[in-house]
Amino acid sequence: QSVLTQPPSVSGAPGQRVTISCTGSSSNIGAGYDVHWYQQLPGTAPKLLIYGNSNRPSGVPDRFSGSKSGTSASLAITGLQAEDEADYYCQSYDSSLSAPVVFGGGTKLTVL
Amino acid sequence: QLQLQESGSGLVKPSQTLSLTCAVSGGSISSGGYSWSWIRQPPGKGLEWIGYIYHSGSTYYNPSLKSRVTISVDRSKNQFSLKLSSVTAADTAVYYCARYSAVPRYFDIWGQGTMVTVSS
């Protein structure tokens, strides 16, 4: 059971827009801590995709965007491409007695 | 460009100690503003944070693993290490080392990962 909750899977056709949600609580996202997103292509290590809720590292296409509101955050991917098929994880900081670093359970994106 | 590379035993017997090292190249492990972390991913499952060590030497561990984990740093070799004792099959996973930015607390650089299997 992950501290941050993500849908197990989402799908979309090429060119479409999809969103992935990440729901937390008052000890992490709701407390104002930033949310970060990682993309894990099959057989590879996770790669930072979005940091500080909505910032893209250099080299990440602007098709990827992030937002945060209340106790939740979202990752949006527009103009879906076959190469976007991957697992996506959200991550934040938690101020409770649990681990300070918390991940979502991950979402498998399938490009139809 | 900073790079991380994990190495260590790929097969560990139950009840023994798992030992991994992460070599840092292209930068100094003593750089301020960062800590050095271990994260694992069991086959087919999600990411689990194990712990991290600051450049000062302070360590923070996942409470669920705290009694079995030790993370240390060797500045002379520009590397940091993970030891996980009393392993069981549940510790079978791909283990990643990663750099953790202090603010706003994200993992910006990851190693490629190394698979560790616990089996007799």
B66-89 per-position pLDDT tens digit: 999 999 999 999 999 999 999 999
Instruction: Please tell me the predicted confidence (pLDDT) of residue A1.
Output: 81
Count the Cβ atoms, other than its own, within 10 Å of residue B20. 23
- Which chain B residues are within 8 Å of A47, Cβ to Cβ? 110
Report how many Cβ contacts below 8 Å link chain A to chain B: 61
Query: Residue range B30-52: average pLDDT?
Result: 94
Count the Cβ atoms, other than its own, within 10 Å of residue B118. 19
Instruction: Please tell me the predicted confidence (pLDDT) of residue B59.
Output: 93
In whole numbers, what is the pLDDT of chain B averaged over residues?
Answer: 95
The 8-class DSSP code of residue A81 comes to -
CA distances from B94 to A10, A46, A76, A87, B110 (A): 24, 12, 28, 15, 13
Whether A102 contacts chain B with CB within 8 A: yes
The angle at the Cα of A36, spanning A50 to A7, to the nearest 5 degrees, equals 100
Could B49 and A93 be called an inter-chain contact, meaning their C-beta atoms sit closer than 8 Å? no
**B120 pLDDT band (50/70/90 cuts)?**
very high
Could A103 and B49 be called an inter-chain contact, meaning their C-beta atoms sit closer than 8 Å? yes
A14-51 per-position pLDDT tens digit: 999 999 999 999 999 999 999 999 999 999 999 999 99
> For residues A34 and A64, what is the distance between their CA atoms, to the nearest angstrom?
17
Chain B: residue nearest A99 by CA?
B62
Asked if omega into A100 is within 30° of 0 (cis), the reply is: no
How far apart are the two ends of chain B, measured CA to CA in Å?
39
For A48, the closest of B46, B49, B106 (CB atoms) is B106
> For residues B11 and B26, what is the distance between their CA atoms, to the nearest angstrom?
29
Taking any CB pair shorter than 8 Å as contact, residues of chain B touching chain A are 37, 46-49, 52, 60, 62-64, 96, 100-101, 104-108, 110-113
> For residues A67 and A15, what is the distance between their CA atoms, to the nearest angstrom?
21
- Which chain B residues are within 8 Å of A29, Cβ to Cβ? none
Instruction: Please tell me the predicted confidence (pLDDT) of residue A107.
Output: 98
Three-state secondary structure call for residue B20: strand
**B55 pLDDT band (50/70/90 cuts)?**
confident
Tokens of B117: 């299997």
Chain B: residue nearest A38 by CA?
B107
A61-102 per-position pLDDT tens digit: 999 999 999 999 999 999 999 999 999 999 999 998 778 899
- Minimum distance, in Å, between the CA of residue A33 and any CA atom of chain B: 8
